[in-house]
Amino acid sequence: MNVDNYSLIQAVRGPIMLIALGTLVAMDYFGVRGFGQTWPILIILFGVLKLLEKAVAKPATFPPPVPPGGNAI
């Protein structure tokens, strides 16, 4: 299940960033807030998505340790 969540987050990261960018530009255009005040939201959103991606990522697997006196390859 983690692989599916990881892939989903990777797949939606770009579209979510574009939607956020479009929303911020529209807010600037309609005079709600200037883009100069709202652009840090993009960095925060990107960071949150990267944290989610890392949280659901499969942990790295390490090879089993070599027993004492065993032959290492």
Per-residue model confidence (pLDDT) at position 58? 73
Q: By C-alpha distance, which of 56, 57, 55, 46 is closest to 14?
A: 46
DSSP for 13-35? HHHHHHHHHHHHHHHHHTTSS-H
Per-residue model confidence (pLDDT) at position 63? 77
Q: Which two tokens stand for residue 41?
A: 């939201």
Per-residue model confidence (pLDDT) at position 70? 59
Q: Is residue 26 predicted with pLDDT exceeding 90?
A: yes
Could you tell me the residue ranges of all domains in the chain?
Answer: 2-56
Q: Give this prediction's pTM.
A: 0.71
Q: What is the mean pLDDT of residues 7-33?
A: 94
- Residue 11: in which H helix or E strand, if any? helix 2-29
Q: What is the mean pLDDT of residues 2-8?
A: 79
Per-residue model confidence (pLDDT) at position 64? 77
Instruction: Determine the distance from the C-alpha atom of residue 26 to the mean position of all C-alpha atoms in its chain, rounded to a whole number.
Output: 24
